Amino acid sequence: MNFNATLIGQTITFIVFVWFCMKFIWPPIMHALEARRKKIADGLAASERGKHEQELAEERATEILREAKDKAGEIITRAEKRGGEIIDEAKVDARDEGERLLTSARAEIDQEINRAKEDLRGQVVSIALAGAGKVLEREVDQSAHDELLTKLAAEI
Amino acid sequence: MAAEPLTSSSYIKHHLTNLTYGKFPEGHEHAGHWGFAHSAQDAQAMGFWAINVDSMLFSIGLGMLFLWLFRKVAKTATVDVPGGWQNFVEWIVEFIDTSVRGSFSAKNDMVAPLALTLFIWIFLMNLMDLIAVDHIPWLASLLGVSHLKIVSTTDPNITFGLALPVFFLVLYYSVKIKGLGGFLGELAFHPFPKWMAPVNLLLEGVTLIARPLSHSLRLFGNMYAGEMIFILIALMYGGGIALGAFGGLLQLGWAIFHILIITLQAFIFMTLTIVYLDMAHQETH
């Protein structure tokens, strides 16, 4: 164990190496590490933000869904009401129409009855006239007895 | 050396001798010439102005390896998903950064790179210990290199070469942060009251000086002892098949245990550096 100039050589080498390490090795590596740390932190923050935004979006979606449901319910209620109204109107219309038809049918029936009565009356008159002619054995003058016949027809 | 008879003690001595380059002293057969020492005595006799070429080469080589490997990542470091090697480097850097943040409270951009350099560099130098003791020296001997110690941290020059700059940094920052008066006051007025300043100065002075000593000797001692045990185990290979097989088992066990030691020693050296520098930055004791 003898000391010699190796001591000085090693000291100088040491100083040079530390200087080199300090200048060219440590700063770039630390810089890269720092940058990566920052990048990861940013990424985490971004994901956090994304999660938050998603939560907000979900909330908003729920809100919109609820609104839509409310609106749909309202629309259905209104539609049901309107439907009821339409049905009522239709009922009224139908009743009116029915009544109208009934009335006109009745009128027509009356007319028919009257016409039939008239016919029957005419025919009864002719039959009566024919019968009377047969009874009297002579022609009954239609024109001569028209007044009488009309009176008779009216009585039938 | 080929010329010497191979005994256990010469084997051990050979393994514990650095490849030293220096000027041969007076009285030597090569007196006045520069060259590689042929033995530990030669190296000793060369005095201070000699250099352990193997220690320096492995130290610089492994340091360059560290810088190259990490620089590769630093140049291409991306913010996106890191690749395998980048991931590993980032893991280490993060680990060092956490250690520094944990023990170093002041603000100094130099401490973390310093800690990183120390940790990886020392770890790599220690790692050479796991290569079987004879392999690389044997390869080197084929190239005509007489001595080679591949574990730089078993050379006290290397460990002191690491601890002394740290010590000077501690002194520099102590004076810079607290002022010369503050620093001296810290040495003189603790732990006893002011009137016992000389005693305080002595105590604190010893503490201060003991720091770089223990700092470097802890690493050196651990690695030297570990290396020594590897060498002793390697000796068993010469003792027949049974002893050799037992030695192989021992070596495996010790190597596995040593993985822990080399990492731990690198970590301790780094942590102590951080702690000492932190103390230098503290205003109050």
pLDDT score, position A11: 93
Mutate to test the interface with B, among A3, A15, A17 (most CBs of B within 10 A): A17
pLDDT score, position B83: 82
- Which residues of chain B neighbour A1 with C-beta distances below 8 Å? 156
Residue B37 belongs to a domain? no
Interchain pair A10, B77: CB under 8 A: no
> What are the tokens at B6?
């191979």
Active site residue B222: yes
Give tens-digit pLDDT for A1-13.
578 888 999 999 9
- d(CA B37, CA B43) in angstroms, rounded, equals 5
pLDDT score, position A140: 59
Interchain pair A4, B113: CB under 8 A: no
Residue of B39, B105, B214, B216 marked active site: B214
Instruction: Going residue by residue through chain B, which has 285 residues, state the pLDDT in tens, using 9 for 90 and above.
Output: 344 556 788 888 888 888 888 888 777 777 777 888 877 777 777 888 888 888 999 999 999 999 999 999 888 887 888 888 888 998 999 999 999 999 898 888 899 999 999 999 999 999 998 888 888 888 888 887 878 888 889 989 999 999 999 999 999 999 998 888 888 888 888 778 888 888 888 988 898 999 999 999 999 999 999 999 998 888 888 878 888 899 889 999 999 999 999 999 999 999 999 999 998 888 764
Cα–Cα nearest to A151, from A131, A132, A124, A133: A124
Q: What is the mean pLDDT of chain A?
A: 89
Residue B76 belongs to a domain? yes
| pTM for this entry | 0.75
* CB-CB contact of B137 with B150 (8 Å): yes
- Which residues of chain B neighbour A28 with C-beta distances below 8 Å? 74-75, 77
Range of the domain at B225: 53-281
> What are the tokens at A38?
């920052």
Residue B271 belongs to a domain? yes
Residue B238 belongs to a domain? yes
Chain B nearest-CA distance from A69, in A, is 48
pLDDT score, position A144: 67
Residue B11 belongs to a domain? no
Nearest CA in chain B to A38: B79
Cα–Cα nearest to B12, from B217, B220, B219, B233: B233
Hunting for tokens 């109050």 — which residue is that?
B284
> What are the tokens at B129?
């210990």
In what side-by-side order are the strands of the sheet with B20-23?
A: B34-36, B20-23, B50-52
Judge whether A37 is closer than 8 Å to chain B, CB to CB. no
Residue B74 belongs to a domain? yes
Q: Looking at the 3D structure of chain B, how many domains does it have?
A: 1
Residue B46 belongs to a domain? no
Judge whether B111 is closer than 8 Å to chain A, CB to CB. no
pLDDT score, position B3: 44
Judge whether B20 is closer than 8 Å to chain A, CB to CB. yes
- Which residues of chain B neighbour A37 with C-beta distances below 8 Å? none
Judge whether A135 is closer than 8 Å to chain B, CB to CB. no
Residue B8 belongs to a domain? no
DSSP labels, B125-171: HHHGGGS-TTHHHHHHHHTT-------GGGSHHHHHHHHHHHHHHHH
Q: What is the ipTM of this complex?
A: 0.86
Mean pLDDT of A21-27: 92
pLDDT score, position B1: 37
Residues in contact with A24: Cβ distance below 8 Å, sequence separation at least 6, in sequence order: B71, B74
- Which residues of chain B neighbour A2 with C-beta distances below 8 Å? 43-44
Nearest CA in chain B to A26: B113
Q: Where are the extended beta strands (E) located within B26-132?
A: 34-36, 50-52
Mean pLDDT of A104-132: 88
pLDDT score, position A53: 96
Judge whether A144 is closer than 8 Å to chain B, CB to CB. no
